[in-house]
Chain A
């Protein structure tokens, strides 16, 4: 499976935008880019996913580089409730395999 690389941790101030980077230089043409997050003592929660075009939903935006070798999850206004571990995961459109989680990025939000 293609791998992803994320920073171990990031800090943000409340009410400010947060840009969480992910590198996936070996991505294949059929890989979707998925983002999940895990709040303390909870199971992972879906955030957003995309294939080639940038995506927006009520939780976040996903900006995908033109060559698809990197992507950025954007939280437009961080709140204390956004403090979590964020996982960037590649999932093949056709293979139907499981999600393979890496270490993720621990986001800390300061009031």
Chain B
């Protein structure tokens, strides 16, 4: 597609459950980023992939959060044992390369609600 696609757009789950959020980046974009945004705040960096490898995962809040990008295209953010504090909009973005001159294209986000 022409843009970054994220699914599901909305996910409601119960505390303690496992959740997967998917990101389909723009074709040919080698860099992929995950962000989390709480209400009224700016997006908060989670993890960044260059190709298949996680180049920087310093933003992952704890070991319940994990992300993969096995073929260098689609990425999945995985959250184990969800907590109410994980409720947020999870944003994915992609960029042609990792160069600072390149721009990021964001998806519409996946809204996660943990009851």
- Flag if B45 contacts A98 (CB, 8 Å): yes
- Flag if B101 contacts A101 (CB, 8 Å): no
- Flag if A34 contacts B103 (CB, 8 Å): yes
- In angstroms, how far is the closest chain B Cβ from the Cβ of A34? 7
- Flag if A91 contacts B100 (CB, 8 Å): yes
Binding site for A on B (CB under 8 A): 4, 31, 33, 35, 41-45, 48, 50, 55-56, 59, 91, 93, 97-101, 103-109
- Flag if B100 contacts A44 (CB, 8 Å): no
A interface, size bucket: 20 to 34
A3 adjacent to chain B (CB < 8 Å): no
Given contacts A43-B91, A43-B93, A43-B109, contact A99 B44 (CB under 8 A): no
- In angstroms, how far is the closest chain B Cβ from the Cβ of A46? 4
- Flag if B42 contacts A98 (CB, 8 Å): no
A7 adjacent to chain B (CB < 8 Å): no
From A51, A92, A95, A96, B31 is in contact (CB under 8 Å) with: A96
- B-facing residues in A68-109 (Cβ within 8 Å): 85, 87, 91-104
Bound complex: CA A48 to CA B33 (Å): 19
- Flag if A101 contacts B43 (CB, 8 Å): yes
Measured CB to CB, the nearest residue on chain B to A30 is: B100
Q: List 13 A-B contacts (CB under 8 A).
A: A30-B100, A31-B100, A42-B109, A43-B106, A44-B43, A44-B93, A44-B104, A46-B105, A92-B100, A98-B33, A98-B45, A101-B42, A101-B45
B41 — which chain A residues lie within 8 A by C-beta? Answer: 103
Measured CB to CB, the nearest residue on chain A to B33 is: A98
- In angstroms, how far is the closest chain A Cβ from the Cβ of B29? 13
From B44, B59, B108, A42 is in contact (CB under 8 Å) with: B108
Measured CB to CB, the nearest residue on chain B to A94 is: B100
Bound complex: CA A45 to CA B105 (Å): 7
- Flag if A103 contacts B42 (CB, 8 Å): yes
Measured CB to CB, the nearest residue on chain B to A45 is: B106
